[in-house]
């Protein structure tokens, strides 16, 4: 994929990892945190302290790692490492959980010979169980981050829980005649709802940008990407997205006034969108990625709300799973979205097949619609005919396997 702009291009890179940007290293090991032997402890390390930005879950019960990460960033808005484990969320674990998260931070700092506040902590897995700190401390000592693609690939596997696939992305562009790379890795497949989900996202870039402008960009982009996905309507306790920008590409400092700001912003937005869509695609038990595109809205917020409502509807999700072209469930979700609409002007499409025009049913081929819905990528379009704004959201179908997976998550 190549995005063309008047002042340059943004290209998607094949086989890029979080170690592709200059000066980033990663590693992962099996620390035996899980019941099954697999990679479950990883680290990202920058050669130099990096500007940083982060967004977090809106769940009131924020896990101990989030509290410690916020403490680290608050010191000087810079980070140099992220330590992450899977298999245990360290959430709802009280004072001991907080002590354990601090211990993860201090042990990582000691291993990498950097100050404690340069380390962010992230955890994912089962809620309400104390961390096996003996295994984690021993595991941190064994981590040997490197700039190899293998290190980045291993990290992306170590952060997974019920995910079936790794989620990675990488984009490059040129700013001030310097190659800029933005790369990311994420996990997430269940407890996914708009306004962050049970997901972790880590993005590295060698671009030079201060933490304030990076935070503004990430917050804005999150509202259009990570906050537009839903799998099952649950919001987890640990959700975090962290961006590290170490400046080693040596471009002129990026600000919204920089002539190439749109190139960097587009690279970061596409990386976040890729990861968000991969999370939706890999929803627990999912067989299809569903994209809802709302057009003709009065503003982008309205369009986004309607799109998220449709893709989050259990009835829409089950209809998609069963390849049932039930447009009534779509129009119903539009109606209860809470957005003011004109109930006489709505068009509905599944793929290229129109089923509703000006809120009235029109003839269409059920057979063609069924064939389309049996595919693994489904697009639903709703035209409100009220304005010029658009918005998208992503989710997945709801299958029998979702119940099976979550019925035995702790076993």
Cα 55 from Cα 215, distance rounded (Å): 8
Question: If pLDDT is split at 50, 70 and 90, which confidence band does 329 have?
Answer: very high
Q: At 324, is the secondary structure helix, strand, or coil?
A: coil
DSSP state of 256: T
Alpha carbon distances (Å) from 200 to 16, 66, 160, 184, 376 = 18, 11, 9, 11, 24
pLDDT at 363 over 80: yes
User: Residue 309 contacts by C-beta under 8 Å, 6 or more apart in sequence?
Assistant: 333, 334, 336, 337, 338
State residue 164's pLDDT score: 78
* Residues 116-163: tens digit of each pLDDT: 999 999 999 888 899 999 999 999 999 999 999 999 999 999 999 877
Q: What's the whole-model pTM score?
A: 0.84
Domains and their CATH numbers in the chain: 2-279 (3.60.70.12), 289-407 (3.10.20.340)
DSSP state of 230: E
Q: State the helix-helix crossing angle for 300-312 and 314-321, rounded to 10 degrees.
A: 60
Q: Which pairing describes strands 200-205 and 240-245: parallel, antiparallel, or unpaired?
A: parallel
- Verify whether residue 198 is a known catalytic residue: yes
Q: From the candidates 124, 198, 230, 237, give the one annotated as an active-site residue.
A: 198
Please, what is the Cα angle at 287 between 321 and 14, to 5 degrees?
145
Contacts of 63 (CB under 8 A, 6+ apart): 89, 90, 91, 92, 93, 97, 123, 127, 237, 238
Express each pLDDT in 5-27 by its tens digit. Answer: 778 899 999 999 999 999 999 99
> Beta-carbon neighbour count of residue 20 at 10 Å?
22
Confirm if 18 and 26 have CB atoms less than 8 A apart: yes
What is the percentage of the chain residues whose pLDDT exceeds 70?
92
pLDDT of residue 398: 80
Please provide residue 116's backbone torsions phi and psi, each rounded to the nearest 5 degrees: -55, -40
Give the ranges where 282-383 is alpha helix by DSSP (H). Answer: 300-312, 314-321, 327-335, 366-373
Q: How far is CA 380 from CA 224, 295, 331, in A?
A: 17, 11, 11
């Amino acid at each position: 994929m190549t995005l063309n702009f008047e002042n340059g291009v943004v290209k998607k890179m094949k086989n890029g990892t979080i170690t592709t940007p200059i000066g980033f290293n990663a590693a992962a090991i099996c620390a035996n945190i899980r019941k099954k032997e697999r990679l479950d402890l990883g680290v990202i390390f920058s050669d130099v302290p990096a500007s940083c930005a982060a967004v977090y879950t809106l769940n009131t019960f924020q896990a101990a790692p989030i509290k410690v990460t916020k403490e680290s960033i608050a010191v000087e808005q810079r980070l140099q490492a992220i330590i992450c484990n899977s298999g245990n969320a360290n959430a709802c674990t009280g004072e001991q959980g907080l002590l354990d998260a601090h211990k993860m931070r201090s042990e990582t700092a000691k291993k990498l010979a950097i100050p404690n506040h340069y380390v962010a902590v992230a955890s994912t897995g089962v809620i309400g169980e104390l961390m096996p700190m003996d295994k984690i401390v021993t595991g941190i000592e064994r981590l040997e981050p490197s700039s190899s693609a293998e290190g980045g690939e291993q990290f992306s596997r170590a952060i997974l829980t019920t995910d079936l696939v790794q989620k990675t992305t990488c984009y490059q562009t040129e700013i001030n005649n310097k190659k800029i790379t933005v790369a990311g890795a994420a996990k997430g497949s269940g407890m996914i709802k708009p306004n962050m989900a049970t997901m972790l996202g880590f993005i590295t870039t060698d671009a030079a940008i201060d933490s304030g402008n990076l935070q503004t960009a990430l917050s804005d982009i999150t509202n259009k990407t990570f906050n537009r996905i839903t799998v099952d309507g649950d919001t987890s306790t640990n959700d975090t997205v962290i961006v590290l920008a170490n400046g080693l590409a040596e471009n002129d400092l990026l600000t919204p006034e920089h002539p190439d700001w749109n190139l960097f912003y587009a690279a970061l937005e596409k990386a976040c969108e890729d990861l968000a869509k991969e999370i939706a695609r890999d929803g627990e038990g999912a067989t299809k990625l569903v994209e809802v595109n709302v057009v003709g809205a009065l503003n982008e917020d309205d369009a986004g709300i309607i799109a998220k409502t449709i893709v989050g509807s259990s009835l829409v999700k089950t209809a998609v799973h069963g390849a049932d072209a039930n447009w009534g469930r779509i129009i119903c979700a539009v109606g209860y979205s809470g957005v003011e609409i004109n109930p006489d002007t709505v068009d509905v499409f599944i793929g290229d097949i129109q089923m509703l025009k000006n809120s009235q049913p029109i003839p269409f081929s059920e057979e063609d619609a069924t064939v389309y819905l049996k595919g693994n990528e489904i697009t639903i379009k709703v035209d409100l005919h009220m304005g010029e704004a658009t918005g998208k959201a992503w989710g997945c179908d709801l299958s029998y396997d979702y119940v099976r997976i979550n019925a035995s998550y702790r076993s």
